[in-house]
Amino acid sequence: MSSDQQIQSAVAAAAAARDHLAALIERQCPGPHGYVQHRDRQQPWCPRCGYGANGERVRTPAPEPPRERMTARYMMATTAYHRSGDLSRPADLALIYGEDGEWWIGEWVYGYGFVEVRFPKAATRPLTPAERERFNYRRIEGGPVSQILIRDDGLAGQLGADGRIVWPQPPDQRR
Residues that bind Zn ion (CB under 5 A): 29, 33, 46, 48-49
List b or e across 122-147, with b for residues whose CB sees 16 or more CB atoms inside 10 angstroms: eebeebeeebbeebbeeebeebbbee
Spatial CA neighbour of 117 closest among 87, 148, 74: 87
Chain centre to alpha carbon of residue 17: 14
Between residues 63 and 101, which has the closer beta carbon with respect to Zn ion? 63
Between residues 98 and 120, which has the closer beta carbon with respect to Zn ion? 98
DSSP-assigned letter for residue 152: T
Distance CA(25)–CA(96), nearest Å, equals 17
How far apart are CB 43 and Zn ion at their closest, in Å?
A: 13
Q: Is the Cβ–Cβ distance between 156 and 149 less than 8 Å?
A: yes
How far apart are CB 24 and Zn ion at their closest, in Å?
A: 11
* Whole-angstrom Cα Rg for the chain: 18
How far apart are CB 42 and Zn ion at their closest, in Å?
A: 15
How far apart are CB 87 and Zn ion at their closest, in Å?
A: 22
Between residues 6 and 28, which has the closer beta carbon with respect to Zn ion? 28
Between residues 21 and 123, which has the closer beta carbon with respect to Zn ion? 21
